[in-house]
Structure 1
């Protein structure tokens, strides 16, 4: 069984988290049944960007990172204090741990800034949220990343980053493929209605 750590910062965007819970939930019931996802945060209760709360499965202090095979991180909003947790050393150390062991890391939108802050993107290709006059891509560059400004999704070895919530499902599907097989990914996309039953992808 492959275990995915869904690392949640206070102020995370719920949609970006839900793509991981849905894709890996579908795989647990309708796919190869060999993946399981667990949400983890720095607090007992976390607030989402849009004002409601969630209770993660575990707090970071309660888990052993050695037990997990991949890391998933949704983005969030500065107005919801996302960066207080997302730039916390405990949060950043999780990212460093997974990268040092070459385990897959999937970051949606501004979650790439946590990766940048941790140092794992220095000299590596990446992207993050893009909108005219928004500072996030420049901020990622300042962390030492090579920002591919016209790419909505960038994969550099074990890390995938993306430019907006619109990319979220594709990021989750990429992570599923890394942990299972291409054929299993096609099966899940078909069962979820993203592919026609007779599609070859």
Structure 2
């Protein structure tokens, strides 16, 4: 099994690291065969708060056919998140994952990339809910049915509304890729 984690310029570090951590625990301590591959538009990506990360592959080197799930952390507009989150190459990748009914998991404003791609039209989703819910209004403008809950699942898409939900999203994705039992073992071993 393979999880593709897509990083945009200005991504939120905690929202990225949970996927690496949870899937790493599952693989290392419990033998779950989940490989995590990081990807971006460029080989080097600078997160919000200026943490540089080297990804495994660029978007031109991946195909939705090769992966079982896609994870998209959110990020900060002030650090250029939307410059890459709305890039047509990412929009196309999201559409391909959705067309194959593969899992797409987002944290916070990562949902806006999925919304912009068009695959959330008429589907339930959520995104950042604080500061006047202005990001939820953007998601609604993309055609999503906004649900103001911490984590929302509609068919093959998982969305959530703030960094605090990131572990919940990663555990839920682990459950969808393996089983409820496997997820519970990892969650308990990590102290949750």
Q: TM-score range by the shorter chain?
A: over 0.9
**Counterpart residue number, 1:160:** 158
**Counterpart residue number, 2:34:** 35
**1:17 Cα deviation after fit:** 0.3
**Unaligned runs of at least 5 residues, structure 1:** 195-201
What secondary structure is seen at the aligned counterpart in 2 of 1:50?
helix
- The total of aligned residue pairs comes to 192
**Counterpart residue number, 1:6:** 5
Counterpart Cα distance in 1 of 2:46 and 2:131:
28
Counterpart Cα distance in 1 of 2:63 and 2:102:
15
What secondary structure is seen at the aligned counterpart in 1 of 2:71?
strand
Runs ≥4 residues deviating over 4 A: none
Counterpart Cα distance in 2 of 1:190 and 1:134:
33
Counterpart Cα distance in 2 of 1:17 and 1:62:
20
Larger radius of gyration: 1
Which TM-score applies when normalising by structure 1? Answer: 0.93
1:92-131 to 2 correspondence within 5 Å?
A: 92-131=91-130
Counterpart Cα distance in 2 of 1:102 and 1:62:
21
Q: Report the aligned-residue RMSD.
A: 0.9
Higher helix proportion, which one?
A: 2
Please say if residues 122 and 144 of structure 2, whose CA atoms lie closer than 8 Å, have aligned partners that are also in contact.
yes
1:1-201 to 2 correspondence within 5 Å?
A: 2-149=1-148, 151-194=149-192
